[in-house]
Structure 1
Amino acid sequence: MTLNQLEYFCAVCRYHSITRAANELYVSQPTISVAIRNLENEFHIRLFNHGKNQLALTPEGEAFYKKADQLLHYSQDLYSEFSLTARGNESIRLGIPPILSTVFFPEIMLAFQEKTHIPLQLFEYGSVRACKMVESEELDLAIANLDFYNVDKFHYQVMKTDSHVYCVSKTNPLAKRDSITFEMLADQPSILFNTDSVQNRTIMSRFHAAEITPNIIMYSSQISTARKYILEDIAGAFFYSSVPLSCDDIIKIPIEPEITSRIGIIWKKGVYVRDSVTRFIEFAKTYQL
């Protein structure tokens, strides 16, 4: 059981719909369905009755929802109460997409804390959702793909420019190619980041521009999951070129024409920025990736 699974389950309970919950949380419907199924398997209970155009909690589901909702509120209170360290430094609430965390963390976090002793409170969200949470001041900062349409609503600092690649098993026929086009991927089973990522929107816009309906079999933020599908030659996956896949049997193929993205840190305009947050921003500007 994870807090994310409980959050997805409680959202479905509130909205009485997996579709609405997925839209509100900026994740795919299969992600929520899998989370609920995993909870049911773990606790050996049935949480929902599925009727025609209707989703209703079972009696066990109602009892589970009350406890899950209490646990989520308790976890939020726990974060709030213990966000100060013995030194009196208020923690920085930092959002970061799971995929980008493999590029930026833990090195930057450890280096910053070693230099300043200011704690970082990390939240894993896709770039789209993380930026909305910065705007609503639920997060102080976010490391994100900066290529979203309203980025100028925020202050931001570019930390890295990265290119997109398509990854396949070395046994896949595409592995022999020096580059790949979207036309070549029309029928290729593929994996994309979750729907709350800017990368997802960037790739999908390229498919649409080429008038291609892609064969997307999974939306995921977990490298280990995508890597397993790639190695079994079930699907290929779009990644940033700098994401470490830690496997010699996976081939990264450059996309033609090249797609690059700016990766950086964003914070809200027009609000007071605490000293600890300012120190992280200044540190990030000089940190060498």
Structure 2
Amino acid sequence: MELRQLEYFQMVAKTNNITRAAEQLHVSQSTVTLAIQKLEDELGILLFDRSQKQLSLTAEGRVFVQKVSDALNLLQDGVAEINSYLQLKKGTLKVGVPPMIGSYLFPEILASFNKLYPALQLSTVEESSFDIRQLLERGELDLGIVNLYQPSPLLETLVISKEEIVACLPLSHSFANYPAISLMDIKDEPFILFKEGAYNRRIILDECKKHGFEPNILVASDQIETMKGLVEKGVGVCFLIAAIANKGINYVSIPLADPLYLDFGLAWKKDKYLSRAAQAFINFITELKLSTPKEK
């Protein structure tokens, strides 16, 4: 049974005439006749009563035409919905965002993207960059904003921004007025770091190892405001990207003498099918990069 046969049958049922049906369908009369005959042969019943001058549906034909109409309507609805996705009038994206980048960079990206594609919905999952990579590799996210430290071979990536890591110290700290400090300067301070799995934490620990010491990690947290609050109270020092750290007023943020950076980028699984919505977001990020002035 072919879709074309059902469409021909439906038109003949509407017009009660093969000639008029053929005209409406822009095919020959013999094509419609053959299609109806094949359909009846396959079903093993007569769909039309041909004893009169004008065709009329048999009892079985009346039942079948209703089912065919329902099926064709559902199909048309499906095609219309797919076209909505293709034209980006509908769609959902599941995007992973790490806490540090989500608090300052993603809202701006989301707002700009939403202006271009107001019909697309973005569902965000806030996890560490490490966890987002794993979710992407398992195909559980469409896209993710991740730290590009130690790239995954399973993911395609597009660099979004390069962010400098700075040290956050209490206002009363003896190094508070220094233009820059080294990790060795604060090696005896309690460290407030992100939890296991965060690349920010890995970078700091790797750098400490290069300098030959293991820091005293007093607190591990994924809550940026908690980390800032602990620094303000003089509990220890933490390390945040400058764009976030510089927003604080009750502590100081100081560049490291040997600068450390985090590269953030958009990532997606290499062999995963990309919806039109996902492709639109990737293109948007690409255009955003091209229109952003280069750092000097």
Superposed pair shares fold, TM > 0.5: yes
Which of 133, 136, 141 aligns to 1:134? It is 136
The one-letter code sitting in structure 1 at the alignment partner of 2:176 is A
Please give the alpha-carbon distance, in whole angstroms, between the structure 2 residues aligned to 1:132 and 1:256: 33
The one-letter code sitting in structure 2 at the alignment partner of 1:130 is I
Please say which structure displays the higher CA radius of gyration. Answer: 2
Q: Which residue of 2 aligns with 1:120?
A: 122
Deviation at 1:91, TM superposition (A): 1.1
Please give the alpha-carbon distance, in whole angstroms, between the structure 2 residues aligned to 1:103 and 1:157: 19
Deviation at 1:106, TM superposition (A): 1.6
Task: Show the 5 A alignment for 1:12-161.
Answer: 89-117=90-118, 118-148=120-150, 150-161=151-162
What secondary structure does 1:284 align onto? helix
Q: Which residue of 1 aligns with 2:168?
A: 167
Distance change >3 Å, CA 113–CA 244, structure 1 → 2: farther
The one-letter code sitting in structure 2 at the alignment partner of 1:253 is I
Deviation at 1:245, TM superposition (A): 5.3
Please give the alpha-carbon distance, in whole angstroms, between the structure 2 residues aligned to 1:123 and 1:136: 15
Q: Give deviations 1:83-131, integer Å, cap 9, x for gaps.
A: x99x862311100111111221322112111211211000001111100
Q: Which residue of 2 aligns with 1:198?
A: 199
Distance change >3 Å, CA 244–CA 109, structure 1 → 2: farther
Please give the alpha-carbon distance, in whole angstroms, between the structure 1 residues aligned to 2:235 and 2:245: 20
What secondary structure does 1:173 align onto? coil
Equivalent pair of 2:231/2:251 in contact (CA under 8 Å):
yes
TM-score between both structures, scaled by the size of structure 2: 0.65
Please give the alpha-carbon distance, in whole angstroms, between the structure 2 residues aligned to 1:154 and 1:231: 38
What secondary structure does 1:100 align onto? helix
Please give the alpha-carbon distance, in whole angstroms, between the structure 2 residues aligned to 1:177 and 1:216: 23
Structure 2 unaligned blocks of 5 or more: 1-83
Q: Which residue of 1 aligns with 2:185?
A: 184
Q: Which residue of 2 aligns with 1:228?
A: 229
Please give the alpha-carbon distance, in whole angstroms, between the structure 2 residues aligned to 1:265 and 1:250: 31
Q: Which residue of 1 aligns with 2:278?
A: 277
What value does the CA root-mean-square deviation take over the aligned residues?
2.0
The one-letter code sitting in structure 2 at the alignment partner of 1:127 is S
Distance change >3 Å, CA 180–CA 125, structure 1 → 2: same
Moved over 4 A (4+): none
Please give the alpha-carbon distance, in whole angstroms, between the structure 2 residues aligned to 1:112 and 1:221: 27
Equivalent pair of 1:134/1:142 in contact (CA under 8 Å):
yes
Structure 1 unaligned blocks of 5 or more: 1-83
What secondary structure does 2:262 align onto? strand
Deviation at 1:211, TM superposition (A): 1.9
Please give the alpha-carbon distance, in whole angstroms, between the structure 1 residues aligned to 2:198 and 2:276: 29
Q: Which residue of 2 aligns with 1:240?
A: 241
What secondary structure does 2:104 align onto? helix
What secondary structure does 1:254 align onto? strand
Q: Which residue of 1 aligns with 2:288?
A: 287
Please give the alpha-carbon distance, in whole angstroms, between the structure 2 residues aligned to 1:90 and 1:157: 22
Please give the alpha-carbon distance, in whole angstroms, between the structure 2 residues aligned to 1:210 and 1:93: 40
Do structure 1's residue 217 and structure 2's residue 209 form an aligned pair?
A: no
Paired residues, number:
204
